[in-house]
Amino acid sequence: MTGPHEVDARQLRARYPDIFDRPASARLAMPAMIFAAFAILIYGLVDLDFSPSRFVAGLSQLGWISLMMIPPDPGSSLPIYLKALGETLSIALLGTTLAAVFALPVSLLAARNVVPSSLLRFPVRRVLDSIRGVDTLIWALVWINVVGLGPFAGVLAIAVSDFGAFGKLFSEAIESADQKQVEGIRASGGSPLHEIRFGLLPQVLPVIAGQVLYFIESNTRSATIIGIVGAGGIGLQLAEQIRVLEWQKVSFLILMILIAVAAIDFVSGKLRFAIIGRRAVA
């Protein structure tokens, strides 16, 4: 019984040396990486003041907070909250639309097949990257300095930070567009603008529309938090209620946000299917 197996093993060993005799470096790489990851984790936990006693105390505190959140109750401020929610949705819609409108022409400049010169493309891309590197909350703080506290600052913050994201996404969509249609327009004597209008845009608009809808969805989430720094919307109410420890109102607000986000998800999902078809989304 053992005989043929041994032969088998020896044959296999000879046939696949790279599986049976892996070099030490390959065998040690995984454990070494895991060890390094854990070493940094331990260092981080120590450096960031994690202590078991603090953790347990915090957890029991958190338990109390959760208990006090039940049942969610808006008290008498329901109309204010509904208005704030409307404000949040407005911020998301308006900010995303503004960003898309401004990003479309810029994304043409950042696309390789529209602007072949990398001299022009490179700075545009770096500017878009820098804008994306700064979080929406930071943009909100900057805009509050410019137009004052309120939802308008939130609209502009979302518009600017999405401008960076859209510029990149749109230009990628444009770069992956089929060049044959553009060549066709050029062959029939169209100007560069005609090429973009009739060759590129019909191809990329559905993709772009899908992305914009997706961003409206994700911006509903972003819009809920920019209120925390004072840029309007439901986040402002939420931050205030957390600071004054009105936990029932807090849980009600969180519930409102969850429901609103789910509703927007549903609607924009339907719209996306309607625009670009089920296959393209999945």
Partner 1 sequence: MTTAVSILPEQQLAVLNAAYRRAVGRKRLRLLLELVIFAAALLLAAIGAEVNLRTLFTHFGNFFSYFDRILTLDTGQRVWTDVGEWLWGWRKWLKMLGETLLISYVGTLIGATLAFCLNFFAAENTSPAPWLRFTVRRLLEFARTVPGIVFALIFVIAFGLGPMAGVLAIAIHSTGALGKLFSEIVENADMKPVEGIRSTGASWLSCMRFAVVPQVTAGYASYALLRFEINVREASVMGFVGAGGIGQELVVAIRKFYYSDVSAILLTIIITVFIIDITTGWLRGRLFGGEART
Question: Is 141 among the residues that bind partner 1 (CB under 8 A)?
Answer: yes
Phi, psi of 21 (to 5 degrees): -115, 70
- By CB under 8 A, tell whether 182 contacts partner 1: no
User: Which of 173, 269, 150, 275 shows the shortest CA–CA distance to 216?
Assistant: 269
Among 2-10, 71-79, 149-157, 185-193, the segment contacting partner 1 (CB under 8 A): 149-157
Q: How far is the CB of 69 from partner 1 (least distance, A)?
A: 10
Residue closer to partner 1 by CB (options 7, 263) is 263
- Report residue 135: phi and psi, to 5°: -70, 155
Give the CA distances from residue 123 to residues 16, 46, 130, 234, in Å, rounded to whole numbers and listed in that order.
Answer: 50, 42, 10, 37
Nearer to partner 1, 165 or 179 (CB): 165
Does 135 contact partner 1 by CB under 8 A? yes
Work out how close the CB of 10 gets to partner 1 at its nearest, in angstroms, rounded to a whole number.
25
Choice from 108, 169, 196, 225 touching partner 1 (CB under 8 A)? 225
Instruction: Give Cα 30 distance to the centre of its chain.
Output: 31
Binding marks (x or -) toward partner 1, 185..224, rule CB under 8 A? Answer: ------------------------------------xx-x
Using rule CB under 8 A, residue 127 touches partner 1? no
Residue 115 near partner 1 by CB under 8 A? no
**Alpha helices (runs of H) in the chain, residue ranges in sequence order:** 2-15, 17-20, 24-47, 52-68, 78-110, 118-133, 136-147, 151-175, 179-187, 192-194, 201-226, 234-243, 247-281
DSSP 87-130: HHHHHHHHHHHHHHHHHHHHHHHH-TTT---HHHHHHHHHHHHH
Catalog residues that contact partner 1 under the rule CB under 8 A: 37, 40-41, 43-45, 47-50, 54-55, 57-59, 61-62, 65, 86-87, 89-91, 93-94, 97, 129-130, 133-135, 137-138, 141-143, 145-148, 150-152, 154-156, 221-222, 224-225, 228-229, 232, 235, 238-239, 242, 245, 250, 254, 257-258, 261-262
